A and B are shown apart, each in its own frame.
Chain A
């Protein structure tokens, strides 16, 4: 074959990269990487920097008549607040399985969605929930009680008032 360099190769079998293709390849890669970085830049947009949800901290005033171990559920908040001899504490009512709202019962909590059950301290006793219910931070400030749905504390943390 080398003696007959004039024999044209088939157009369908491309030759090895020739010098004149290098520029073409370079521009191809330049375009591809430009588009790649543009894409990465665009992907940043859907991740919100500021969450639109309302403030997680709210004030509660427990009724005087609230019995020890009886759940108080502030309107519009998925939290159960309790008062007993050791103090005030708040347990999140958001199921740790898939986020349904659990219902306080005499034995503890039960979830309507896939049947998880928790005892009165929020420990899972049945069903698919992987973790205990969260205990939420309670603070006393200027004589008023505040619960922060966004801040969890160790189970068993009770605040003396």
Chain B
């Protein structure tokens, strides 16, 4: 020992020389300290790279080939995340100029739109990326549902996903107010009153003075009894701080869970179906360096020490290339949309004159259609039922047939199509009926409100879908079949109601075949 040290000291040369050498090698040693596994050039170092990096290690080191097929995910989860990143970056840029106060908010958006260099472009990208995010998150949920990917052990992650859905919609909704134009003001007025709509029930029962959860919700949301400066600052705070932080937090859990649940759901015989791998198929040849003390808490019987790849390929680069491709595609789409269409900006908010028609963002127009039957049922009752139903799916469907396969499970694609028909026909039938004949209030002006709250097109539709899906459970003798029927029906209902709300409702929420028929105003 001591001999070696002495030798070293002799060889060291002057301190100045050493200083110079160290300085020269600093960039390299800096990289070595930042990325301790060495340059990611071999499978082993690439694995260490993924494993040792706090961001990359949300992926597992190796990825199953089934997960890498486009048709497994269509990249929708990553696209959602990419859209989130885009809104994050453009949003921070918008914050340089935006001022959350009713006197100046509108003017500052106008400045961003017309004066700030690249301001309009950034605003457009932000707006369209937000829309893209809503679309992809819905599609991603549908894909997780139709591939039966919510089953054991992924039940909890499905719930995390639902939380993400709610937060995503919350982000869009809170962002909608910020321009403080007519569109914003009235959408938020309606939204805040939907929060207060439990009053429809408490008023009918005459207990609002003593027990007013609806009024409390609105008060907390708006910080006042009308949409004003307090509401704007609250929405701003939610939009730029609270909800993005919550979303980032849950996304981290969501990704981590995907990894810990054993990668993406796949059929039990995925390896056989994929056949032998083509081309090179990297395997660890080195002996493992560690003893596996954590083996006791790893799931499964035997730790996979020094084992072959079992249908997996290294995540780096295979998975990363795919993710990068999806990221670039999402950026491309958002930028293209931003170049094609400007984000809307109406006149300054006017609390005395509502927009006519006053429409919420498009993805809420299905709800607005339901709300036009009953505020409480459309705005709170039915959405709550839907969310509860979605959340229960993984705990009720404990079957195994068809996991990881599109439309897997009894009934399969045929059941999905059948449900599409049922879903479309029922929603179209009931909509045509109300549009043609009106509803209870017109026939019996003095009918108690509670009757309308309970019996309206929205609740009847929900009931019809529920009954159909129970029938499917019986017919196919499978909970999965019932879930598939219900999910498909609600999806169709959502799409139809959204389309009607978007394209076929004009002034006074009257049905028009085309905006060209709207009375001039």
Which chain A residues have a beta carbon within 8 Å of chain B's beta carbons? 12, 46-48, 51-53, 76, 78, 97-101, 110-115, 123-128, 130-131
Contacts and interface: CB of A to CB of B under 8 A. Distances in A.
B186 A51 contact: no
A115 B435 CA distance: 12
A128 B371 CA distance: 8
A98 B225 contact: no
Given A48-B223, A100-B186, A115-B508, A130 B449 contact: yes
B304 interface: no
Contacts of A76: 352
Contacts of A110: 508
B482 to A, nearest CB: 31
B371 A114 contact: yes
Contacts of B358: 100, 112-113
B346 to A, nearest CB: 14
A5 B301 CA distance: 29
B219 A112 contact: no
Nearest to B219: A47
Interface in B181-239: 186, 189-190, 192-194, 197, 200, 203-204, 216, 219-220, 223-226, 228-230, 234
Nearest to B191: A98
Contacts of B351: 78, 101
Contacts of A52: 223-224, 228-230
Interface of B: 186, 189-190, 192-194, 197, 200, 203-204, 216, 219-220, 223-226, 228-230, 234, 296-297, 351-358, 368, 371-375, 438, 441-442, 445, 449, 452-453, 507-510
A98 B441 contact: no
A47 B220 contact: yes
A98 B445 contact: no
A53 B230 CA distance: 9
B375 A97 contact: yes
| Main secondary structure on A side of the interface with B | loop
A113 B509 contact: yes
Contacts of A114: 368, 371-372, 509
Contacts of B229: 52
24 contacts: A12-B297, A46-B234, A47-B216, A47-B220, A48-B219, A48-B230, A52-B224, A53-B225, A78-B352, A97-B193, A98-B194, A100-B186, A100-B190, A101-B352, A101-B354, A113-B358, A114-B371, A115-B372, A123-B445, A126-B442, A130-B200, A130-B449, A130-B452, A130-B453
Contact of B445 (A78, A100, A124, A128): A124
B228 A112 contact: no
B353 A101 contact: yes
Nearest to B456: A128
B445 A125 contact: yes
A127 B456 CA distance: 11
A64 to B, nearest CB: 24
A112 B204 CA distance: 24
A12 B449 CA distance: 59
B441 to A, nearest CB: 6
Contacts of B356: 112-113
Contacts of B197: 98
A101 B356 CA distance: 10
A46 B224 CA distance: 10
B219 A127 contact: no
A152 B153 CA distance: 56
State the 10 A-B residue pairs at the shortest beta-carbon distance, nearest first: A112-B356, A114-B372, A98-B193, A115-B509, A99-B193, A130-B449, A100-B354, A114-B509, A98-B190, A115-B508
A112 B371 contact: no
Contacts of B193: 97-99
A148 to B, nearest CB: 14
A131 B449 contact: yes
A127 B226 CA distance: 23
Contacts of A131: 203, 449
